[in-house]
Amino acid sequence: MGLNKYYTGKPCPYNHDSERYVIGCKCVTCAVNKAMERNRENRKRTNKANNKYYHRNKERIQKQRKEYRVHNPEKVKQQRKREYERNKTIILERHKEYYQRTKTERISKKRKYRKENPEAILASNQKWLANNPGKQQEYDNRRRARENNAIGDHTEEDIQWLLEKQKLMPSSPAAVGGQVQRLVSIKKL
């Protein structure tokens, strides 16, 4: 039949209720545990052997991994999620360190691209404005607020409160289309 494992239903001497290998009759769980222990004890040698094996079989391994990712997208997604949760602080620290290390390089690349491709930048900006009507006014308002050292954003309740204190109603000239264009500062209340 070509099977390499069998199951007896009897536990091994270490009380593992698992399959046994045909060659050697060893319990699969015991064999895995022993291999893991051996790898822990010989970490450097194991890593070196794994790297050597990977480089000898790089194309085949990459192909197998790609096929696995294509055929098991949900499993891969869950594995990546678990890995991220397990190493979240390390990953975030690496990202932060990489971001700081490459900051000047990214800025210079961005400047160079903008200088060499003004038409592409203009077309991209026009496309964005067409797809996001009203956003430009919002950004302009925030920019002006930053220039005037204004802090924070107002919620709908804040704006309603300001309108009531200034005796402005949504139908007044200060509020157009339900959005407040300009609010006069309140003196002492």
Please count the other Cβ atoms lying within 10 Å of the Cβ belonging to residue 27: 22
- Where is mean pLDDT largest: 23-32, 58-67, 164-173, 178-187? 58-67
What is the reported pTM? 0.38
Q: Where are the domains positioned within the chain?
A: 1-56
- Gap between the Cα atoms of 99 and 78, Å rounded: 26
* Residue 160: per-residue pLDDT: 77
Q: Mind listing the pLDDT tens digit for each residue in 27-81?
A: 999 999 998 888 888 888 888 999 999 999 999 999 999 999 999 999 999 999 9
When pLDDT is cut at 50, 70 and 90, the band that residue 182 belongs to is low
- Gap between the Cα atoms of 8 and 20, Å rounded: 8
- Gap between the Cα atoms of 19 and 32, Å rounded: 12
Concatenated DSSP letters for 50-101? HHHHHHHTHHHHHHHHHHHHHH-HHHHHHHHHHHHHHTHHHHHHHHHHHHHH
175 bridge partner residues: 180
- Gap between the Cα atoms of 57 and 43, Å rounded: 21
- Gap between the Cα atoms of 186 and 136, Å rounded: 27
* Residue 53: per-residue pLDDT: 95
Spatial CB neighbours of 51, under 8 Å, sequence gap ≥ 6: none
- Gap between the Cα atoms of 150 and 182, Å rounded: 13
Out of 26-35, 94-103, 151-160, least confident range: 151-160
21 bridge partner residues: 5
* Residue 26: per-residue pLDDT: 86
* Residue 41: per-residue pLDDT: 86
Q: Mind listing the pLDDT tens digit for each residue in 109-151?
A: 999 999 999 999 999 999 998 898 888 887 887 787 777 777 6
CA distance readout (Å), 3 to 6, 27, 167: 8, 15, 86
